[in-house]
Amino acid sequence: MILVTGAAGKTGRAVIEALAAKRVGTRAFTRNSEHARSLTTLGATEVNIGGFEDPRALVRAAAGAQAVYHICPNVSRDEVANARAVAAAARAQGSNALSITQCCTRRSKRCRTTSRKCAPRRCCLPPTSI
């Protein structure tokens, strides 16, 4: 099972569809319950509803996930906090890998994935930058 955060967005939907085509079990994480049906139609095995600000929802979503594909909201001021929260939930549930599309604010001049402020480097999971 792979957890995909930000699943209802353009990138998330494409990831869900690609993983489903390879018959990989996916758990979509989205804050809006109205997206559940369309995500299931795309191939999500499960849909979890919650927000990045809710650690319990993130831990529930990460339960049993071998990997997490975290898609940050585009240009969010909470980008780093969200990535840290997802990384903490993944680590707490024993996920083996964390893949992040973005992890530092666009205002930062640092490289996204190698930044010392970047969440994946501080979460003890092997990060992959997309």
Structural domains in the chain (count)? 1
pLDDT in tens, 33-80: 999 999 999 999 999 999 999 999 999 999 999 999 998 877 778 888
- 104: CATH: 3.40.50.720
Ranges of beta strands (E only) in 1-126 are 2-5, 26-30, 46-49, 67-70, 97-100
Q: What angle do CA 42, 16, 67 make, to 5 degrees?
A: 145
Three-class SS of residue 91? helix
With bands split at pLDDT 50, 70 and 90, how would you rate the model's confidence at 98? confident
Residues 129 and 112: beta-carbon distance below 8 Å: yes
Distance, CA of 5 to CA of 71 (rounded, Å): 6
Lowest mean pLDDT among 19-23, 89-93, 102-106: 102-106
Whether 119 shows a pLDDT value over 50: the answer reads no
Let me know the angle formed at the C-alpha of 128 by 122 and 130, rounded to the nearest 5 degrees.
125
- pLDDT level of residue 108 (50, 70, 90 thresholds): very low
> Domain range for residue 64?
2-129
